[in-house]
Amino acid sequence: MFDEDMVLCAASAYEKKYYLNEAFARLPEEIKDELKIMCVLFTEEAGGILMLAFEDDGTLVFRTQAEEGDLLYDEIACGLLVKKLQYEKRELLESLEMFYRVFYLGEDAEC
């Protein structure tokens, strides 16, 4: 399905489920709520599966996938929606990257 990067959260339109990695349980409730709303609304609009994951360098990436034969999944609309979220939620996403780099990769917060 996806490679072995550190998963932050995921949502599935097929199973109507949301997942937050327990390793990030210490995030503030407001951040966890915002991630849940963002992911669930994404899958409701675009369908498929959305996963937010940290790459080895701490970059937060959006990954989407659809089940084979899912005719309602629109890859182009999905890409546009990802770009929209990256723009609208830029501050949140940058803060999450900094959190990951400091607390999980051990980088200096001044970087």
Residue 74 burial (10 A CB sphere; 0-12, 13-18, 19+): middle
Q: Is the model's pLDDT at 104 over the cut of 70?
A: yes
Q: Domain containing 84: what range?
A: 6-103
What's the pTM?
A: 0.90
Lookup: tokens for 20: 């937050």
Alpha helices in the chain (DSSP H): 29-46, 75-88, 90-103
Q: Is the model's pLDDT at 77 over the cut of 70?
A: yes
- Asked whether residue 110 is assigned to any structural domain, the reply reads no
N residues, the chain: 111
Total number of domains constituting the chain: 1
Residue 95 burial (10 A CB sphere; 0-12, 13-18, 19+): middle
Buried (b) or exposed (e) across 14-36, using 16+ Cβ within 10 A?
A: eeeebebeeebeebeeeeeeebe
Q: Would you state the pLDDT for residue 2?
A: 46
Q: Would you state the pLDDT for residue 1?
A: 42
- Asked whether residue 108 is assigned to any structural domain, the reply reads no
Q: Would you state the pLDDT for residue 74?
A: 85
Neighbours of 82 (CB within 10 A): 17
Q: Would you state the pLDDT for residue 111?
A: 52
Q: Would you state the pLDDT for residue 3?
A: 52
- Asked whether residue 70 is assigned to any structural domain, the reply reads yes
| Average confidence score pLDDT of the chain | 93
Amino acid at 83: K
DSSP state of 22: G
For 7-55, the pLDDT digits (tens) are 999 999 999 999 999 999 999 999 999 999 999 999 999 999 999 999 9
